[in-house]
Amino acid sequence: MDKFTELREKYPVFIYHSYMISDEGFSFHFSIGEYEFFPEWKWNGLEIPADMPRELIEYVIFSIGMTELVSYWKCACPPLVRVMCGSLGEEQIKWWKKLYWGGLGEFFYRNGIETAFDDFMRIEADCTEVRKFDDPYKGGRKGALIPVGGGKDSIVTLELLKGMQSDNLCYIINPRQTTLDCAHTAGYSDDRIVGLKRSIHPELLRRNADGWLNGHTPFSAIVAFSSYLAALITGKKYIALSNESSANEGNVNGTGVNHQYSKSTEFERDFRTYCEKWLTVPPEYFSMLRPWSEWQIAQRFVRYPKYLPVFKSCNLGSKTDSWCGKCAKCLYVYIMLAAFLDDAELKKIFGSDMLDNPEFSGMFDGLVYADFDKPFECVGTRAEIRLALYNAYKRREGGYVPLLLKKYISAEPDIPESLDDFYDGDNFIPEELAGLLK
């Protein structure tokens, strides 16, 4: 019997018992059989206004719990999720099930789990009331809350929106030196940086250590709901994400598996629907970079050299605020920047010439060629990567050409299609801000 089936038979029910709110933050209570989980979130520069309607805040926090629970559910994948707090109507249950299904595509694929949408989970809620809320700011919201992750994308959004900086706030989950440095470099003082500190309950780590299932979950959905809470209580009009058009491309040929599902336009549309139907209060959630390709974002990013010493988006190096210089994400960012920066500057950032290392051939092929699965990282499309490689070669033509770049250009000598004028019209950028990208 495979692990997925064995765990589901032994632990048939996941329970979302409750959420708790205090002056320090909020927490949740989940359980699978005899195992209990209490993940915690702590306020960091945020405070609930005294006149903020309690029911509205509670419902948003309950919704954060619905995004949080999938990280705990996935260790045993119980077929039934019972929600004993909050409330969920039938249409909402379908909404959550769609998010989990799309956001767990990579988890199912990498764990070799074969299941179907109708079978992987059933959600039952003790309360099915549909709620409606009024905006306590009554149209007086202004500025944007800008989630900052420390990479080039959120930096470009910070720069695009600098004209309204006095009304904006940076939003950071679990701040680290890189994210703070990026916000400070953009001109935001500590009192203009807010966020939350999220902690994983140790019992989940113990289940993983005991051989239960583990893998990728839709973290960007957690960013969406928690940033909504932050924008709600700080009176912001907008939540300006930094997800680009490239996030819509999947990772595994012939499947719908997308590492970036909760960064996709599909999720963005669904989340906006959720806010309009069941939270019913502004702020408005959108991605500032959705019309652009990763090529255009990199092209814009290099205009701001002050960020080169501070930006970092390597997941493996995040705990030490560094580029590991060995993973597919580092190699991808290296390639995109190689189109605009010289080798000496790239080595200063990444520690070595990543395009001159034959050990990276496998990762390189996955990034570049359609015959291979894309790495499970937040990376651009192959068309964008090929364009960057061609321009990186032209920048070095007549001088030293790194090994992997030489290998590529000898096999693909044709000029790739330009993406300078690319514009994805399937976006939700407010009309007053759309001109910043054209």
Q: Which residue has the tokens 């329970």?
A: 15
Alpha helices, DSSP H, located in 200-323 = 202-209, 219-234, 265-274, 294-301
Q: What is the pTM of this model?
A: 0.96
Angle (nearest 5°) at CA 376 between 370 and 379: 70
Which residues, other chains included, contact 109 with Cβ-Cβ below 8 Å and sequence gap of 6+? 252, 255, 257
Helix (H, G, I), strand (E, B) or coil at 406: helix
Is 42 in a helix, a strand, or coil?
strand
Query: Residue 98: what residue type?
Result: K
Contact indicator for 257, 250 with CB cutoff of 8 Å? yes
Please list the alpha-helical segments (H only) found in 308-375: 328-338, 343-350, 361-368
What was the pLDDT predicted at 405? 95
Instruction: Show pLDDT as tens, one digit a residue, over the chain (438 residues).
Output: 699 999 999 999 999 999 999 999 999 999 999 999 999 999 999 999 988 899 999 999 999 999 999 999 999 999 999 999 999 999 999 999 999 999 999 999 999 999 999 999 999 999 999 888 888 887 789 999 999 999 999 999 999 999 999 999 999 999 999 999 999 999 999 999 999 999 999 999 999 999 999 999 999 999 999 999 999 999 999 999 999 998 888 777 777 778 889 999 999 999 999 999 999 888 999 999 999 999 999 999 999 999 999 999 998 888 899 999 999 999 999 999 999 999 999 999 999 999 999 999 999 999 998 888 888 888 888 999 999 999 999 999 989 999 999 999 998 878 899 999 999 999 999 999 999 997
- Rounded to an integer, what distance in angstroms lies between the CA atom of residue 28 and that of residue 1? 32
Residues 246 and 248: their CA atoms lie apart, in Å, by 5
For residue 247, the model assigns a pLDDT of 86
> What is d(CA 415, CA 391) in angstroms, rounded to the nearest whole number?
9
The full DSSP string for 360-381 is GHHHHHHHH-TTSPPPSSS---
Containing 106, the helix (H) or strand (E) segment is helix 105-110
pLDDT, position 375: 83
**What dihedral angle (degrees, nearest 10) is formed by the CA atoms of 412, 413, 419, 425?**
-40
